[in-house]
Amino acid sequence: MTHTISKVAKELNINVETVRFYERRGLIEQPIKPEVGYRHYSSETVNRIRFIKRAQELGFTLEEINNLLSLEDRPCSQVQGLAEHKLTAVKAKMADLRRLEKALKGLLDQCHHNDDDRHCPIINSLQP
């Protein structure tokens, strides 16, 4: 089954320009344009776009996704290596977010106990 670009976009709830962007980035191949009519995208291409979107939702960059797609026929250990690298990056971001959360909670606690409405502990903490 084949789809026009507008049907692909509608089915995947994305913009037509997203499909074109993936083509320009080399993530999907642009179908050959017939002399009459529209380009038609295969079910495989639709599934590939679905994979790209899902990987983006999981936090992979387009470059990382391109690497994953290039490993499609490679040993699982290579894919596992990329996934382990991403997991390390995600854990580091989570640690940073926990530190930020702790700092914000501390500042908000200072605000709640601040009797001087002319001075804000949050603003004071941001000044050099």
Q: Does domain 1-60 have CATH number 1.25.40.10?
A: no
Task: Dump pLDDT digits (tens) for 97-123.
Answer: 999 999 999 999 998 888 888 888 888
Domain residue limits, the chain: 1-60
Residue 1 confidence (pLDDT): 73
Residue 30 confidence (pLDDT): 92
55-59, Cβ contacts within 8 angstroms, sequence gap of 24 or more: 59/86, 59/90
Residue 128 confidence (pLDDT): 77
Residue 81 confidence (pLDDT): 85
Alpha-carbon gap, residue 121 to 63, rounded angstroms: 41
Q: Give the residues of the chain that fall short of pLDDT 70.
A: none
Residue 69 confidence (pLDDT): 87
Is residue 46 a contact partner of residue 10, using CB atoms and an 8 Å limit? no
